[in-house]
Amino acid sequence: MLDIKELRKNPKLFEQKLQTKDPEINLSEILAMDEHLRSLKTKLEELKARKNQISKEIGMRKGKDVGSFSQELASLDGHIFSVESQVPSIEGTLHQALGCLPNLPFEEIPISPSPKDNVCVKIVGEKREFSFPFKNHMELNEHLKLFDFVRAAKISGSGWPLYRGMGARLEWALLNYMLDIHRKNGFTQIMPPLLVRPETMYGSGQLPKFETQLFKIHDKDYHLYIIPTSETALIGLHADEILEEKDLPLCYTAYTPCFRREAGAAGSQERGLIRTHQFNKVELFSFATPEQSAGIYEKMLSSAEEVLQGLELHYRNMLLTTGDMSFASAKTIDIEVWLPGQNRYYEVSSVSNCTDFQARRSQIRFRRKQDKPQYVHTLNGSGLATSRLMVALLENNQQEDGSILVPKVLHKYLEEEITVIHG
């Protein structure tokens, strides 16, 4: 959430920056509501001050006629009640309106509404050249039997994955490999709940904007959301806390399945594991001081890249434009891996600096010695999402006979020394 005090200082500049993310944003209603609320509170203070003054006058006139003062006191009580009754509703509406505003982008972010204008800032490796007609992961799966989308649909409907046999084992190997890397790099492993309270979703920036994209349980006993990413759970770790500066940064990693309603468009490019309602992901999340923020960002990006470098996959880093960034982010770099079967790059990680945006919504602060507490910076990144990573492994490591070479870094995570997957 943005600081209303800062917004008041230069509303035009704020509006211009916010419109680079969403051109429809107009701050006039919010500013008018804020001004009205402040005038009500000022009026309330004046009424209460007058009431205190009248009460003192009555106290000083013992045994004397205080009829006129009593009448004014009664009138003041009525006015105070009238003004006070308006404040909570306006505060709630203003809070909700502020909660719908995205984070401000950093100055260096390219301004554009289109992802076509994302800037490539790094390329690692090269696209594999095939000496035979290569297959996409769905065609490879016809013989390898790593996934079963037909039975998954029978269980849950379309858009849900089912891993089987070596597919399940390879997925598990990937998850353990990634967690080992991130623990080595100083991230503490967490196993968070998969269902979270609305307040936690709000703190992460998922609510109210993305309500329709979330799975939830809402009945007489529970009002919980199923996490779309473990970022939403990890932000809740320190909600409503004041941390000590000496304890920062706090760096976490977590594996969870993730759930999203929107499963992508139909068609050959979006089939299989490319976009599903459920997918596995290892997350990176950090709480830092503003001064630590940039360094922690690079640490998280480097840890995510190390995964791909160990797997010897070709990828590129893309600095996202203002219009392609997430709601809560001030800066995002997407790591995109090359998928031959789709003839394009696909995101496997998105590393974002959210500055104090989520911390303000979640009330997470830190204290410098005896100074007044201030909001931490939060940072998050995929480390990585495995569904598209699995596609990249299968398609880039396929052999002419349809078998798959298993990257060396994964051998130790399989029960046997499996170096090739055959159908």
The number of helices, as runs of H, and strands, as runs of E, in the chain is 12, 16
Beta strands 188-190; 250-259: pairing state: parallel
Q: Tell me, what's the pLDDT at 266?
A: 46
The DSSP element (H or E) to which 29 belongs, if any, is helix 28-60
Largest CA distance in the chain: 108
Q: Residue 319, SS3?
A: strand
CATH fold for the domain made of 115-421: BirA Bifunctional Protein; domain 2 (3.30.930)
Give the residue from 277, 279, 305, 283 showing the smallest Cα distance to 235: 283
Q: Mean pLDDT across the chain, nearest whole number?
A: 93
Task: Please answer whether residues 423 and 402 qualify as being in contact, where contact means their C-beta atoms are separated by less than 8 angstroms.
Answer: yes
How remote is the C-alpha of 121 from its chain's centroid? 22
Q: Catalogue the active-site residues.
A: 260, 275, 347, 350, 388
Task: Please answer whether residues 386 and 279 qualify as being in contact, where contact means their C-beta atoms are separated by less than 8 angstroms.
Answer: yes
Measured in degrees and rounded to the nearest 5, phi and psi for residue 344 equal -165, 170
Q: Tell me, what's the pLDDT at 67?
A: 64
Residue at 365: amino acid letter = R
pTM of structure: 0.92
Q: Tell me, what's the pLDDT at 417?
A: 64
Residues of the chain with pLDDT under 70: 59-69, 263-270, 416-417
Q: Tell me, what's the pLDDT at 419?
A: 82
Measured in degrees and rounded to the nearest 5, phi and psi for residue 124 equal -125, 125
Q: Tell me, what's the pLDDT at 265?
A: 46
Q: Tell me, what's the pLDDT at 268?
A: 44
Q: Tell me, what's the pLDDT at 192?
A: 98
Q: Tell me, what's the pLDDT at 72?
A: 82
Structure token digits, residue 415: 């029960």
Q: CA 279 to CA 282: how far, in whole Å?
A: 10
Residues of the chain with CATH 1.10.287.40: 4-99
Domain 4-99 sits in CATH 1.10.287.40: yes
Q: 380-410 burial, b if ≥16 CB within 10 A, otherwise e? A: bbbbbbbbbbbbbbbbbbbeeebbbebbebb
Residues with Cβ within 8 Å of 145's Cβ and at least 6 positions away in sequence, in order, are 164, 165, 167, 423
Q: Tell me, what's the pLDDT at 263?
A: 56
Q: Tell me, what's the pLDDT at 65?
A: 62
pLDDT in tens, 257-285: 999 997 554 444 567 999 999 999 999 99
Residues of the chain with CATH 3.30.930.10: 115-421
How remote is the C-alpha of 423 from its chain's centroid? 38
Q: CA 149 to CA 141: how far, in whole Å?
A: 10
Query: Would you say how long the chain is, in residues?
Result: 423
Residue at 47: amino acid letter = L
What percent of the chain is predicted at pLDDT more than 90? Answer: 87
pLDDT in tens, 22-54: 999 999 999 999 999 999 999 999 999 988 888
